[in-house]
Structure 1
């Protein structure tokens, strides 16, 4: 049987929105597919597979240990549970027990965002209780410190374009507060490109999405201190059982990360070069003004920003999605009349289709 869009009544999708879960996040390479196939065609002692792939990745990433999980969201929940339980088997089987009072997870208020589900949902799933520090428009190290009590289990920092970017304490400041009060710091860096920065800054656990910057299959990765990773592995007998990941995706992510470290990712300069003719073509369309912009969170990612002068951005976005192929864009500034196009997963022929469709809509 040959798989196709038509077989399931699906539309083709051009992903100009970025590494988004709603679209399947990333395409995977032939190397990754081969690793997944090897996993699918063989049996393993699964506990040993987790330990050995974790040790392999830890060596590559220069950390004490690593654990592959089913997603970055699962990484948050299991990291929180690990820190709260501290290796207790009683806790593993009774994750929400009243015996353990130290459950407060301090999070800057501007980091308590909805990225597809609210951050606090994943913290709660891990048995934590979110305590917000600061305000939506700012959080200082002092405001984090004043929320620490005897029931504080950990600090959580979300490094993401979804969060408030201004007037927030830095990663380094969060590390300093955590170390001063002898508390673990968990950093959710799901879509971040730098796989070394946050562990080297002093974070105790760092969480990545396997399918975003790493361009692996559906998966997540937690790296950091060996003791905490051991506690996290125990969650496979507890809440992690409902979040287990298959052998094929464990090996697929392992291969993807090794390839990512060897080959790197597309540079911002390359993106700008690919964007240049696309921007020029868009500016030939009446009613559009296109420019190149950098990612709002400061990453080395460049996109096309299109200001609509005569049409509603929301109506144009809906029209782009309605056709076949469906064209998905970044919609965060639609209320300002702006549509952004992320071209990391878009090839030249797909860029031409976007131009053609915009001409039709305009």
Structure 2
């Protein structure tokens, strides 16, 4: 009996993806070992933060790095860094920004965004431009003022200009670009490419594609801004103090990164495609559906092979009903819901048995729905 059994919590097969609500991902053994090693000794957290960041920067080939408490926590520190720089007086004053530049340009959202909420936590005033469907270079330029502290972009949104297009505008205005890339790994090229394109700070989740602790994030970028992130973070008495990252989590993320960068991405992609193709084959003959493998669907994050099952217009159930039936089963299986049906992410399935279980249960649920 493990801890989840003692708590009465059901263990879920994750065929949804690196989703926070089901735990992000599972750490490799090397990360568990590093976590246990770190938990046996006391260290100076200032030194650990600095040395871990320096090691990660060398490992990834970037200028500087800092470990945060998840990607959302990383966005807090990135925003704070752009508001304060390394000025300790301004750092200690947050969320009071005084008469300094405190505006961050963002794409207008049609609903609540916890990422935007995270940045407002610092005292930043967000300046929404464009519309939820599109943001143009003209929109960004129109939002600039002498109060602009940063421009924020998403790496995965195709309704806004690219980093490379925005960079000249940001440079002329003398403001940095913050990029939210939480779920953008793999591909591993995303560690460096956004920075090469002109981003100043790029924020990743540590507990998604990297497969580190879910409570970690990773900020990469300019050394002066990374230093500002560190000064705004715990163990300093600063805005990031409530978002503490423990020594065990820092050690585990370093180890997870070592494993992540050592793996062959082409081999991983081929294995994910094989798993997806296997599930598609297991759904062959189910009436009223169209199952297919998409290798590089730009709508999905991360961009890896996954299964899409489109339901016919007269199919008995909706994609949501299919998803809920799988989650209510034994074992519970979490999958994604799409506009036309459901999706199955295979990258986090533990082994061949889980691949077969997901395919068999999905087939069973789809046939059961058609029989009603």
- Among 357, 362, 365, the residue aligned to 1:353: 357
Q: What TM-score results when the alignment is normalised by the length of structure 2?
A: 0.89
CA shift at 1:358, angstroms?
Answer: 2.8
Q: What TM-score results when the alignment is normalised by the length of structure 1?
A: 0.91
CA shift at 1:85, angstroms?
Answer: 1.4
Matched, 1:324 2:324: no
1:36-57 C-alpha deviation (Å, 9 max, x unpaired)? 1111112111100000011111
- Among 172, 177, 202, the residue aligned to 1:185: 177
**RMSD after superposition:** 1.9
1:185-224 C-alpha deviation (Å, 9 max, x unpaired)? 1111111122111112221111111111211112001111
CA shift at 1:98, angstroms?
Answer: 5.1
CA contact 1:289–1:307 (8 Å) conserved in 2: yes
> Which residue of structure 1 aligns with residue 70 of structure 2?
71
2-side partners of 1:319 and 1:351: how far apart?
Answer: 18
Give structure 1 regions of 4+ aligned residues with deviation exceeding 6 angstroms: none
- Among 295, 298, 302, the residue aligned to 1:296: 298
1-side partners of 2:130 and 2:347: how far apart?
Answer: 35
5+ residue gaps, structure 2, are none
- Among 96, 118, 127, the residue aligned to 1:131: 127
- Among 141, 148, 157, the residue aligned to 1:145: 141
1:104-135 C-alpha deviation (Å, 9 max, x unpaired)? 1001226x875xx5321011012211111222
5+ residue gaps, structure 1, are none
Change (3 A) 1:171 1:267: farther
Matched, 1:233 2:225: no
CA contact 2:95–2:239 (8 Å) conserved in 1: no
- Among 295, 308, 323, the residue aligned to 2:311: 308
2-side partners of 1:225 and 1:360: how far apart?
Answer: 52
Q: How many correspondences in the alignment?
A: 351
> Which residue of structure 1 aligns with residue 274 of structure 2?
273
CA contact 2:79–2:119 (8 Å) conserved in 1: yes
> Which residue of structure 2 aligns with residue 38 of structure 1?
37
